[in-house]
Amino acid sequence: MNISLCIATYRRPERLGALLDDLVKQQQLPIDVVVVDNDAAGSARAVVKRRRELGAPFPIHYDIQPVKNISLTRNRTVALANSDWIAFIDDDERAPAGWLKKLSEAAIRCNADGVLGPVEPVVPANAPAWIQHGSFYEWWRMKTCAVIPPNKLRFGNVLLRGALLRDTPTPFDPDYGLTGGEDGDLLGRLVQQGARIVWCDEAIVHEPVEGARLSLRWLLLRALRGGQDFARHWLAGSYGQLTSTGRVRLFLRALLQSALAAGLAFLSWPLGRHRAVYWLLKASANIGKITILLGWHYREYGGKDT
């Protein structure tokens, strides 16, 4: 199986360098690695140049996509990838030596068009106790070869048939470029078109949790965006056709669930802050659904919220 490995990066040169060091140690090497920098100043250029000079066992292609937009950046990586299969990994993740081999083996064994694997968070030892106890950054897990439900599809650790992404010049929708959610949108559309996307529980990558993410504010905003992603994908048809009646039901259910979760957060506070935060995040996610139905978008990656 020939694989191009795509990385969209933005101002994380040290993390990117560590990831590139992991990739040269893979038991199954990619045919090439594509790095597209979303920083117009080219902050990742020196890192890529250094790994080339050290003699990486595969070509490393580097390009700049200067418009701040994660979808345009990912689309550029796809345009530069020439292999039959395309893998994606985030620039802040670490890849154990067997990672890519396990993804590719699962694609064959499970007769899949795409394979997702888990991203295990690495929470720093000095993180607040309520974060240590809360498992807020954990991914859900499934048995290997299980077909992934549409509302659980996401990037960070994925292998896809290249042909699925080459039917259009913009596989990632630029409308998600500042909000995020472009990954779930793409994968949801692929599933609607008949793609079989499965889970591989052994193909683990690790994601060190940055200090800026060790806060209630960040967690609440990420939950809000997650709720917005869910609503946007449903409105787009990724989870089936949503009628006018269905929109009303979605709104009322989210309203009820947000109120219920807020109440449970209050009641669970004496049992531990991490338990209260769990319910606050549920409330925030449901508020995210409501705000999309009301026409407001939170732009996680910059720009003015609309």
174-214: pLDDT as tens digits: 999 999 999 999 999 999 999 999 999 999 999 999 999 99
Rounded distance between C-alpha atoms, residue 125 and residue 230, angstroms:
32
Residues contacting 237, CB < 8 A, separation 6+? 192
Task: List the structure tokens of 305.
Answer: 């919220």
Provide the pLDDT for residue 241: 79
Per-residue burial over 219-251, b if 16 or more Cβ lie within 10 Å, else e, is bbebbbbbbbbbbbbbebebbeebeeeeeeebb
Cα–Cα distances in Å, from 177 out to 75, 103, 281? 11, 27, 24
What count of other Cβ atoms lies within 10 Å of the Cβ of residue 104? 21
CA angle 235, 239, 240 (to 5 degrees): 85
Residue ranges of the chain that CATH labels 3.90.550.10 = 3-212
The superfamily in CATH containing domain 3-212 is Spore Coat Polysaccharide Biosynthesis Protein SpsA; Chain A (3.90.550.10)
Token couple for 6: 């795509």
Instruction: Give the full edge-to-edge strand order of the sheet including 60-64.
Output: 60-64, 32-37, 3-9, 85-89, 157-161, 114-116, 197-199
Residue 305 banded pLDDT, cuts 50, 70, 90: low
What angle separates helix 216-235 from helix 273-293, to the nearest 10 degrees? 40
SS (HEC) of 172-204: CCHHHCCCCCHHHHHHHHHHHCCCCEEECCCCC
**SS3 sequence of 139-150:** CCCCCCCCECCH
pLDDT of 42 above 90: yes
State which amino acid sits at residue 115. V
Q: What is the pLDDT of residues 226-279, one digit of tens each?
A: 999 999 998 988 887 788 898 999 999 999 999 999 999 999 999 999 999 999
Looking only at the bridges linking them, the beta strands covering 60-64 and 32-37 are: parallel
pLDDT (0 to 100) of residue 306:
59
